[in-house]
Structure 1
Amino acid sequence: MEENGRLIKFLYNEDREVVAEETSNGTITRYIRGLGIISSDSEEAKTYYHYVSDEQGSITHVLSEDAEILNHYSYDAFGNIIEKTEKVENRFCYNGEMLDPVTQQYYLRARFYNPVIGRFTQEDTYYGDGLKLYQYCQANPVGYVDPSGHNCGTTQSRYNSDEEQHPKANAAGGYQSATEKGNSKT
């Protein structure tokens, strides 16, 4: 994509989350993810940043390696940035999602979300005809999240589904998925 005269390429993982970014000058930034975005690094720039998020996954601070606060963000319920202090460029904001700096809309994998109107700018292709094809999080962004752009769920469901997808180490040194917990004999 071209952004302010610069060509920027993104690399996505199987969940359609950005895991790397390359600018036209050759700078590559890698994003490390856990339950949300955790940190980023750039070998060329020799930088490492740690992301701090709130209970919804919104990035509230970006810290340097030395724990210096470089960026600070505050949001309203729908994701509009109401307070911003930014020393380093950052495109991940509300709910840890990627903000397009040109349009000021969030990319939610399937479509773009506009926080000013609190709605998606494209209709939901999963639900066909209906009255709420542009609605974001059932008009309740405090209680729900929609990282895919197709399905909203509770804020807690974001963490539960991630726990089910990734195995956990058990005391015996083996691995056990969240769905195997009840059937385990260890």
Structure 2
Amino acid sequence: TDVNGAPEEMTDGGGNIVWEAGYQVWGNLTHEKETRPVQQNLRFQGQYLDRETGLHYNLYRFYDPDIGKFISGDPISIRGGINLYQYAPNPISWIDPLGLKCWDSARRDYWKAEAKAAPKGMYSPVNMLRMRLGLAPKIRVREFHFKTRTERVRNVSLELNHRHWPQRDGKHVDIPYNLEKVTPWEHAAKDPYRYPGSELLEILQGIGNYKGF
């Protein structure tokens, strides 16, 4: 795939390339080549190409890659932002697999709500400040890094795991009750697509006493 997550090559069982393509930044094709009579219609994450119209089916709406926008307004209205047709502010680092709310927005809102609801003392002052800004709380860990084969100490952010995937519960995928707070290693244990690249050895500072150093 490219940096947006759009497929660039498809192979057969023998590893031979049977389809390839390239894209501009908002997902419209620059070229497409088939070595066999086969079609590959996946595009941005959560999108499926309708070859008759050239639009991308995005579950709740259709996306037009030529203009980088949806062709209908956001079904949740201005709760998703004042631009009702926007795909995302930045197609490189943002995704909208359901045609609803950008994941970065949902994640930011989650942590802001967590800062308001958390019992006193659950999070350190540093983490409370981070969450009020919409950032994930952090912990300080000692880990074994697989690539360098060395131990190291670093600060890592908590992550949000979807309890139910869009295919099973798409309408509410980013609703707070479908999200749970996890470390990167807990996330990897629940999500086969999450690979932390290291083994957790010890938590030196948890969410309640994290200082940042």
Report the alpha carbon displacement of residue 153 of structure 1 after superposing the two structures with TM.
2.3
Max Rg structure: 2
- The partner residue of 1:120 within 65, 70, 92 is 70
Distance 1:77 1:125, change over 3 A: same
Q: Which has the higher helix share?
A: 2
Q: When the two structures are superposed, what TM-score results if normalisation uses the length of structure 2? A: 0.47
Higher relative contact order (CA 8 A, sep 6+): 2
Structure 2 residue 86 is matched with structure 1 residue 135:
yes
Distance 1:56 1:165, change over 3 A: farther
Report the alpha carbon displacement of residue 132 of structure 1 after superposing the two structures with TM.
0.4
Tell me what 1:58 maps to: 6
Asked whether the equivalents of residues 6 and 45 of structure 2 are also in contact (C-alpha less than 8 Å), the reply is yes
**Deviations 1:71-121, CA, capped at 9 Å, x for gaps:** 011111100010211231121133362000011111111000001111100
Aligned length: 117
Report the alpha carbon displacement of residue 136 of structure 1 after superposing the two structures with TM.
1.1
**Deviations 1:112-157, CA, capped at 9 Å, x for gaps:** 000111110010011248740011112x111211001001125xx8
Tell me what 1:72 maps to: 20
Structure 2 residue 47 is matched with structure 1 residue 97:
yes
CA distance in 2, matches of 1:165, 1:55: 25
Counterpart AA for 1:97: Q
Counterpart AA for 2:86: Q
Counterpart AA for 2:27: G
Structure 2 residue 96 is matched with structure 1 residue 146:
yes
Asked whether the equivalents of residues 5 and 45 of structure 2 are also in contact (C-alpha less than 8 Å), the reply is yes
Counterpart AA for 1:90: Q
Structure 2 residue 81 is matched with structure 1 residue 81:
no
Tell me what 1:106 maps to: 56
**For 1:59, what is the secondary structure of its paired residue?**
coil
**For 1:84, what is the secondary structure of its paired residue?**
strand
Counterpart AA for 1:98: Y
Asked whether the equivalents of residues 59 and 92 of structure 1 are also in contact (C-alpha less than 8 Å), the reply is yes
CA distance in 1, matches of 2:43, 2:67: 17
CA RMSD between the two structures: 3.4
CA distance in 1, matches of 2:28, 2:162: 29
Which 5+ residue runs of structure 2 have no aligned equivalent?
A: 108-158, 166-187, 192-199, 201-213
CA distance in 1, matches of 2:84, 2:51: 25
CA distance in 2, matches of 1:60, 1:163: 27
Q: When the two structures are superposed, what TM-score results if normalisation uses the length of structure 1? A: 0.53
